[in-house]
Amino acid sequence: MEENSILFSYNRRSVARLPFRPTLFTRNTGLQAENILIPYRKGTKWGFCNIQKRLIIPCLYDAVRKFKNGIAIVCKNNKWGIITNNGNELISCRYDAIEMNIETILSVKQGGKWGLTDIFGMEIISCKYDFICKFLKGYAELENEDKKGILSITGEEILPPKYQDIKNLGNGYFAVCPNKRWGLVDSCGQEITPCKFNCFDIYDCSLFRVSDNHGWGIITSDGTEIVSCHYTIMENIKNGLSKVKTNGKWGYINTKGEIAVPCIYKQIGDFSDGLARCLYNGHWGFVDMSGHEVIACKYDMVNNFQEQLAGVCKNNRWGIINNLGDVKAPFRYTFIGNFNNGKAEIAVNDRLGIINKNFKVMLFSGYESIKPACKNAYSVHLNGYWTLINSEGLSLTSTVYDAIARFNDTMIRVKIKGKWGIIDYTGREIVPCRYDKIELPRDEVARVYNKSLTGLINIQGKEVVRCQYKHIGKFSNGLAWVETNSKSGFINKDGKEVIPCKYKWVWEFEDNLAIAGLENNTIGFVHTNGATYWED
């Protein structure tokens, strides 16, 4: 009963303890409301009704699961079975536990052991394993006495449970580890390589990344070594290339294991805008994915390319180049940051500023830091405080703040004496500094906090829910769960408590239905219109 329980207990702050996350029916957009079956509780027994509460399947069961693909898992007298959506019994309630494995296969438990049946109860494999995982790529991992094996989708035991660990590599290949070393076998159980590798993983398609005491290499699915184990580091493939290191030097190889960028660089970065920064003989340049050094290693320091531009440093002065190496801004800056949304931070001696993609410079005197805030506004830092200026360097507000953070494209969160408020890009106050915390907006609202209580403001900064709830959950189907005085209910985005806080706990809505915990330690389902699907 415990393994298939339909949430007889709940702890909101320990969701991992839930046996499963309840949902009610599959997402079939053609499904008509009158055909939807909802778990319905009458006293301590469960059945199924339609949206209008007309009982379709009598309340005969101790617990039920949702309908999926026309079948539901049900429990009677601590034994589990399967019924159809017209109430017919496909599998009598005779198993200790039932779990959906894949669409047409069930994992079933009896006498402490797991087996497999189809949805009509036809045995695929008897209950003889300690555990059977879900099928993945046509195969399922099994366990017996802490050893692992592999089942095919027909129930054939292609690898007996004798391995310490197994990885399903796809296409009928498996990495197996009987005792600390890894080898390769196929779906017939045929050994392709002996268990001699320290690590074994997918590289690309039918190629595998392996390591031994000498380093990392690559083998094919027939065990042929195409790259010897000599790389000290071989990273995962990214953008068709893998970063590798050998003899203290970095380069890249392609998906076939062929050298794309030779291992000659002391350092090499990730590719950005098709180029990677590289360090050779103490100087930085850029290399493309074919290994061509398109910008010679002649700079003291370089940034990554962003938006086809990069800051580069020579003789302690920074300039800007494009991806052809052409100098677009002269070497006169003491610092240039990365471009983001068409702008980059710059410094000229003790003056900070911003440069745009047209290389127009806006310099401001006397500030310790400057960052784009929103729209045409910039936050600047001086003597421990922040304020807001425009692109001309003019102050947008006479107020100084302890902290400034973005709210959205036109508004900024600001903090004074431990309290947060909001101003817009012109410096106009939208929300006074009165909250302990303001989160970024999500679902067109933002959570605000005061004295450990939570409220909501909309994206215009208007308070729609004062700080009165202990918790406010995420919105689903237009409603969010709330908790106050150890009771839970639901509010809409206008802040109206459309379902009063009278339940011990609730879960998010899905397909307009949510599960709720009641005072008598039972549960039931609630509709977004407030209708309930139980009777005590």
Residue 49 pLDDT greater than 60, yes or no: yes
* Token pair 């309290």: residue: 419
Closest CA to 157 of 194, 182, 191, 128: 128
* High-pLDDT (> 70) share of the chain, %: 93
How many whole angstroms separate alpha carbon 153 and alpha carbon 135?
7
Pairing of β 38-42 and β 534-535:
parallel
The tokens for 101 are 């494995």
Q: For residue range 314-355, list pLDDT tens digits in order.
A: 999 999 999 999 999 999 999 999 998 888 989 998 788 889
Question: Distances in Å between the alpha carbon of 371 and those of 296, 368, 437, 497?
Answer: 31, 11, 21, 40
User: What pLDDT is attached to residue 15?
Assistant: 28
Burial 443-460 (b: 16+ CB within 10 A, else e): eebbbbbbeebbbbbbee
User: What pLDDT is attached to residue 35?
Assistant: 66
How many whole angstroms separate alpha carbon 378 and alpha carbon 394?
10
Mean residue pLDDT of the chain comes to 91
User: Where exactly are the structural domains of the chain?
Assistant: 365-443, 470-535
**DSSP-assigned letter for residue 3:** G
What's the whole-number mean pLDDT along residues 238-259?
A: 96
- Residue that wins the pLDDT comparison between 360 and 193: 193
3-state DSSP helix/strand/coil percent for the chain, to nearest 5?
Answer: 0, 60, 40
What's the whole-number mean pLDDT along residues 121-127?
A: 95
pLDDT band at 390 (very low <50, low <70, confident <90, very high): confident
The tokens for 261 are 């960028």
User: What pLDDT is attached to residue 276?
Assistant: 98
User: What pLDDT is attached to residue 7?
Assistant: 37
User: What pLDDT is attached to residue 85?
Assistant: 92
How many whole angstroms separate alpha carbon 244 and alpha carbon 268?
10
Q: For residue range 11-27, list pLDDT tens digits in order.
A: 332 222 233 333 333 33
Closest CA to 470 of 482, 480, 458, 459: 482
**pTM of the full structure:** 0.77
First to last CA, the chain: 21
* High-pLDDT (> 90) share of the chain, %: 82
Domain 470-535 - what CATH class? Answer: mainly beta
Question: Distances in Å between the alpha carbon of 54 and those of 34, 36, 45, 446, 525?
Answer: 9, 11, 16, 40, 15
Q: For residue range 263-322, list pLDDT tens digits in order.
A: 999 999 999 999 999 999 999 999 999 999 999 999 999 999 999 999 999 999 999 999
User: What pLDDT is attached to residue 31?
Assistant: 37
